[in-house]
Structure 1
């Protein structure tokens, strides 16, 4: 997964994405009258326990009152570790399972990075998320939208993502730029899945394995079944099985031009046949 590094590139990405995301995020980023600013040590007091002043959590520097979901967040509840801390967790983007972050850092500390890298050392327990993948950044923004919709926004945390004036820092702009790119990556992945749906697969100790295509294999409903092929993706160690359309013009042919072939996507350069399987067979058995 592509990573972003260096402050110059950070600002470049942020500037490139600014025009696209400004309208959606201006309401979240702009100052509000009476906006409350927290320091991390203060936020850590809002755990929802006896004598605590409230039940808050923060995500990317934005603080939400989650009292209405007390049964989920109060001490001893399933998500109690999130209250008074930064919330980053597993999520899904379209059909892609994305490992995001679950910050279980001690009070007054944001250890978000540790839940991406797995580094639980003192050096790893930091809040630097500048090298998130595109899809991880997008998933964080999706969770931010969830909390914005379902819980009361109460303020911002002074630190990595917001300055003492309550305005966003370059680090927050980086996350937004990465999320914008993540949305593009997600769309590309969905388009590829529509073009090359995954095969059905099964294995048994008595019969061996079998790969086959159907009009709904891979969770993609369509009016063709296709035939199994190996799809070789740049950077991938192994090919994976996809279903390939066998009739009509290639998917990447410009719309409106006469069809040059009637072989669908069979001639795509990243595809390979399975040895021992007839080229147009819908099912490829591989006995033991």
Structure 2
């Protein structure tokens, strides 16, 4: 339970009173355990009128005010605030059409990444409550929410059968790329540079013979040409040596 500062006065007092949560002191702080907001109420929580900054992921609301530089007006992640933009977290499409909690039809990789994003926000930001819409009816999960849970569960069940990075033997030599994970963390991955993409992202122009090099979370390394001499066809984990290559202390290929 935590103390959340609420600006804006009357409307928020009414919401809290309707949910049995009175104002706790003269400053307008409310002790909250689990509130529910409509999409319209959530849309107001974008740092306007000194309100906190909220976003939702899979129906769960988080206070991201601590990341005001990133999530506040003009910030790099401002488009996520005041809404549930779950689909855009994994598609890389930040238009209004993809900034939605409708997550059907994604790939198994996408459902696992959604779960990673959920873990990140649970770990790094304060959980506030639920959005009453597609995934929650008041505080209860809807059929849609239970379906999403099944998709995520099936994605993890299939994980061991997939040919993923992380020390898996390959019969092809890939291209080094930097993969940006939830929370701003990055790691080195080997990406196949031929064949059609494994899945496509709205708003991304895909080549038919680059496989996943156009993935929205992949970036080229600086001094990329020099890295081409360090393709390792057998074990992707050996690409951990790339930082040494970039720093000028080239290891043996």
Long gaps (5+) in structure 2: 1-31, 176-192, 194-230, 239-253
Aligned residues: 155
Partner of 1:87: 85
Do the aligned partners of 1:130 and 1:174 also contact (CA within 8 Å) in 2?
no
- Match status 1:180 vs 2:153: yes
Tell me the TM-score normalized by structure 2: 0.52
- Match status 1:42 vs 2:48: no
CA separation of 1:142/1:77 partners in 2, compared to 1, >3 Å: closer, same or farther?
same
Partner of 1:138: 112
Do the aligned partners of 1:47 and 1:56 also contact (CA within 8 Å) in 2?
yes
- Match status 1:100 vs 2:73: no
- Match status 1:168 vs 2:141: yes
What per-residue deviation string (whole Å, max 9, x for no partner) do you get for residues 164-202 of structure 1? 2x1111111111111111112222114798665142269
Do the aligned partners of 1:48 and 1:74 also contact (CA within 8 Å) in 2?
yes
1:195-234 equivalent positions in 2, closer than 5 A: 196-200=169-173, 217-220=234-237
CA distance in 1, matches of 2:126, 2:35: 13
* Of 54, 61, 66, the match for 2:52: 54
Cα offset, 1:70, TM superposition: 0.8
CA separation of 1:186/1:150 partners in 2, compared to 1, >3 Å: closer, same or farther?
same
- Greater helix fraction, Structure 1 or Structure 2: 2
CA distance in 2, matches of 1:82, 1:191: 29
What per-residue deviation string (whole Å, max 9, x for no partner) do you get for residues 140-163 of structure 1? 111011000000001100010000
Do the aligned partners of 2:168 and 2:236 also contact (CA within 8 Å) in 1?
no
Do the aligned partners of 2:36 and 2:129 also contact (CA within 8 Å) in 1?
yes
CA distance in 1, matches of 2:72, 2:143: 33
CA separation of 1:102/1:67 partners in 2, compared to 1, >3 Å: closer, same or farther?
farther
Do the aligned partners of 1:194 and 1:220 also contact (CA within 8 Å) in 2?
yes
CA separation of 1:47/1:162 partners in 2, compared to 1, >3 Å: closer, same or farther?
same
Superposition RMSD on alpha carbons, in Å? 3.3
CA distance in 2, matches of 1:81, 1:190: 33
Do the aligned partners of 1:40 and 1:157 also contact (CA within 8 Å) in 2?
yes
